[in-house]
Chains A and B, each alone.
Chain A
Amino acid sequence: MFSFTKEQKVFKISGIKIGGQPGKYPTILFGGVFFKGDFDFEYTEKNIQDMLNISKKTANPIIPDFFIKKEEHIENIINFIDTKLPKNVPFSIDVIEPSIKVKALEHLNDKDLLSRTIYNSIHIGITDRELNALKNNTPEMAIILAFNPKDKSPDGKVEILENGANLTKDGLLNIANNLGIKKILVDTAALAPGDNSGAAIAAIPVIKEEYGLPTGCAIHNVVEKSKWLDNFNYAKTTVDASSNVNIPLFGGDYAIFGPMKNAEYVIPVIAWQDILISEYAENYFGISPDNFHPRRKLL
Chain B
Amino acid sequence: MNQEYYPWGGEFTTCSPDGCVAVILLNIDYKPNELVAIYGSLKTENIGIEKIVANVISNPKIRYLVVCGNDIRGHRSGMSIIALKENGIDEQHKIINSPGAIPYIENLNNEAIERFRNQIEIIDLLGITDKKKLDKVIDSLSAKSPPPFGEPYIAIKIIDESYVKLNDKRALHSKIVMNYMGKIERRDK
B-binding residues in A (CB < 8 A):
1-6, 69-70, 95-98, 123-125, 147, 149-151, 153-155, 158, 166-167, 191-192, 194-195, 198-199, 202, 205-206, 208-210, 227, 251, 280, 284-285
B186 touches A149 (CB 8 A): no
Most buried by A among B100, B174, B182: B182
A3 touches B92 (CB 8 A): no
Given contacts A149-B102, A154-B172, A202-B172, contact A96 B46 (CB under 8 A): no
Q: How far is the CB of B70 from chain A (nearest CB, A)?
A: 13
B175 touches A149 (CB 8 A): no
A70 touches B73 (CB 8 A): yes
Given contacts A155-B175, A167-B93, contact A97 B186 (CB under 8 A): no
Q: How far is the CA of A70 from the CA of B74 in the complex (A)?
A: 9
Q: Mark B158-189, 1 if CB is under 8 A from A, else 0.
A: 00000000000110111110100111111001
Q: How far is the CA of A70 from the CA of B9 in the complex (A)?
A: 32
Binding site of A, secondary structure by majority: helix, strand, loop or mixed?
A: loop
B47 touches A206 (CB 8 A): no
Q: A2-B178, A125-B101 known; 8 other A-B pairs, CB under 8 Å? A: A70-B73, A96-B75, A97-B101, A98-B101, A151-B106, A209-B175, A210-B175, A285-B181
Q: How far is the CB of A280 from chain B (nearest CB, A)?
A: 8
User: What's the A-B contact tally at a CB cutoff of 8 Å?
Assistant: 99
Q: Which B residues touch A96, using CB under 8 A?
A: 73-75, 101
- In the A-B complex, the 3 residue pairs with the smallest Cβ-Cβ separation, listed nearest first, are A96-B74, A125-B102, A5-B185
Given contacts A2-B183, A3-B182, A285-B183, contact A124 B104 (CB under 8 A): yes
Flag whether B78 is at the interface (Cβ < 8 A): no
Most buried by A among B46, B173, B184: B184
Q: Which B residues touch A227, using CB under 8 A?
A: 11
B175 touches A2 (CB 8 A): no
Q: Mark B117-145, 1 if CB is under 8 A from A, else 0.
A: 00000000000000000000000000000
Q: How far is the CA of A284 from the CA of B181 in the complex (A)?
A: 7
Q: How far is the CA of A141 from the CA of B182 in the complex (A)?
A: 30
A166 touches B92 (CB 8 A): yes
A149 touches B73 (CB 8 A): no
Q: Which A residues touch B175, using CB under 8 A?
A: 154-155, 158, 206, 209-210
Q: How far is the CA of A69 from the CA of B75 in the complex (A)?
A: 11
Q: Which B residues touch A209, using CB under 8 A?
A: 175-176, 184-186
Given contacts A69-B73, A70-B73, contact A210 B172 (CB under 8 A): no
8 intermolecular pairs with C-beta atoms under 8 Å apart: A2-B178, A6-B186, A149-B102, A149-B106, A154-B174, A158-B175, A208-B184, A285-B181
Q: Which A residues touch B106, using CB under 8 A?
A: 149-151
B184 touches A149 (CB 8 A): no
Closest to A251 in B: B184
Q: Which B residues touch A285, using CB under 8 A?
A: 181, 183
B9 touches A194 (CB 8 A): yes
A147 touches B183 (CB 8 A): no
Flag whether B60 is at the interface (Cβ < 8 A): no
Flag whether B107 is at the interface (Cβ < 8 A): yes
Closest to B104 in A: A149
Q: Mark B65-78, 1 if CB is under 8 A from A, else 0.
A: 00000000111000
Q: How far is the CA of A272 from the CA of B9 in the complex (A)?
A: 37
B172 touches A1 (CB 8 A): no
Q: Which B residues touch A154, using CB under 8 A?
A: 172-175
Flag whether B103 is at the interface (Cβ < 8 A): yes
Q: How far is the CA of A69 from the CA of B71 in the complex (A)?
A: 13
Q: Which A residues touch B183, using CB under 8 A?
A: 2-5, 285
Q: Which A residues touch B189, using CB under 8 A?
A: 5
Q: How far is the CA of A299 from the CA of B106 in the complex (A)?
A: 49
Closest to A70 in B: B73
Closest to A165 in B: B106
Given contacts A96-B74, A191-B47, A205-B176, contact A149 B107 (CB under 8 A): yes
Q: Which A residues touch B176, using CB under 8 A?
A: 205-206, 209
Interface residues of B in 71-106 (CB under 8 A from A): 73-75, 92-94, 100-106
Q: How far is the CA of A1 from the CA of B107 in the complex (A)?
A: 34
